[in-house]
Structure 1
Amino acid sequence: MASSYRGVKNRIAFDRGELLSKLVTPSNVMDRLAERYADPHGELNRWVDELRVTTGESIPYFDPRAGSDGAKVLMLLQDPSDAADGESGLISLHNNDQTAHHVHQLCEETGLRYADYIP
């Protein structure tokens, strides 16, 4: 079992088949990025495209599966991890990093659903 976790930092997302990592689960990343322009996050992610062109910066997209209309919480973190920037291209609870794992764990413990907040 331990070998199946090689390179995995967010075991909760991995165990649920939701891990976003170009290295560990590339098809998950491709599928999620394909959803990035769907409503209701489409407008935000088109704005990200404009920012990328204007600034030349690598800016992660909003996760299309995170909360949106009716979200109760806006979760602000200091800056995107390498997982958000290079491994998935998304700000997501399902990224392959310790922060995503810990936030995922806290949300489960408090009952905060992913649909109820937007990172």
Structure 2
Amino acid sequence: MQTRSLGIQEVQQARLAQAFDPHVAPLNRWAEEQRSASGHWLPFFDPLDGGVLARVLLLLESPGPVVSRTRFVSMDNPDGTAENLRCLLHLSGLRRREVAMWNVVPWQMSENGVVTPRPGQYTEAASLTRHLLSMLADLQVVVLVGRHAERAWPLVGSALPTLPCPHPSPQNFVSRRDSAVLALGTLVKARRMVSGKEKGATPIPEE
């Protein structure tokens, strides 16, 4: 299993050539439209993921700095968080074509470093998340990756089942030794839910 592959220019170009394949074209056309409508730069959905056919949405915090170079929200991005997520997905048995990735604050906030979203940005972005959900007709569960996704989710107002998941950043995995195990368990549960072997999920309480 290769990780960080979008750090290779040839891979980036090949991925961009697939950005409007049928299963991701509606999503990436929408992302382009939002760049003009909102004034925010939104990245593309990865065509190696499930696109509009996804049954699991991995909802993270906000695009990291490398996204400005690769142009994709992707577990193939050349950073530690993406690499950890790619490994966890592989270990969980959840097929990549069953998954879509996005962020509760979906626009690029900094090309130079990680910037933590503010609560007002959660509110501003909630309508975008609602619209995204309306395009994912087969979606069965949303995995809220990290505390920011958990805090922002109630503003979306969706009744979809959710699963909380520790953020897969290298810093979090080092400082909280059980985070990787818990994250893997969450993805295994998501796999079991979409395969019909497990029903329901624990809702995230509003704070």
Q: TM-score range by the shorter chain?
A: 0.7 to 0.9
Measured on the aligned residues, the alpha-carbon RMSD in Å equals 1.6
Structure 1: state its 5+ residue gaps. Answer: 1-10
Give the equivalent residue in structure 1 for 2:116. Answer: none
Amino acid at match of 1:78: E
**2:49 maps to what in 1?**
66
Which residue of the partner structure matches residue 99 of structure 1? 81
Identity of aligned residues (%): 31
Please say if residues 36 and 42 of structure 1, whose CA atoms lie closer than 8 Å, have aligned partners that are also in contact: yes
Q: How does 1:20-35 map to 2 (within 5 A)?
A: 20-21=6-7, 25-35=8-18
1:56 has 2:46 as partner: no
Instruction: Quote how far apart the aligned CAs of 1:104 are.
Output: 0.8
**1:70 positional shift:** 4.2
1:83 to partner: Cα distance: 1.5
The residue type equivalent to 2:61 in the other structure is Q
Ranges in structure 2 where 5+ consecutive residues have no aligned partner: 102-207
- State which drifts further: 25-34 or 67-76: 67-76
Report the structure number with the largest CA radius of gyration.
Answer: 2
What's the TM-score once normalised by structure 1's chain length? Answer: 0.77
- By relative contact order (CA 8 Å, sep 6+), the higher-ranking structure is 1
Aligned to 2:96: 114
Given residue 49 of structure 1, which amino acid in structure 2 is its aligned partner?
A: E
Q: Contact between 1:12 and 1:104, CA under 8 Å: does it hold in 2?
A: no
Please report how far the alpha carbon of residue 74 of structure 1 lies from its aligned counterpart in structure 2 after TM superposition. 0.7
Residue in structure 1 matched with residue 154 of structure 2 by the alignment = none
1:69 Cα deviation from its structure 2 partner: 4.8
Secondary structure, counterpart of 1:27 in structure 2:
helix
Amino acid at match of 1:13: T
The 1:55–1:69 alpha-carbon spacing in structure 2 relative to 1, beyond 3 Å, is: closer
1:17-55 deviation digits (Å, cap 9, x = unpaired): xx112xxx1111111111111111101101111111122
SS of the aligned residue for 2:50 comes to coil
TM-score w.r.t. the length of structure 2 is 0.46
CA displacement, residues 67-111 of structure 1 (integer Å, 9 cap, x when unaligned): 135422111001111122x22100111111111111111112211
Distance in 2 between the 1:87 and 1:12 partners?
19
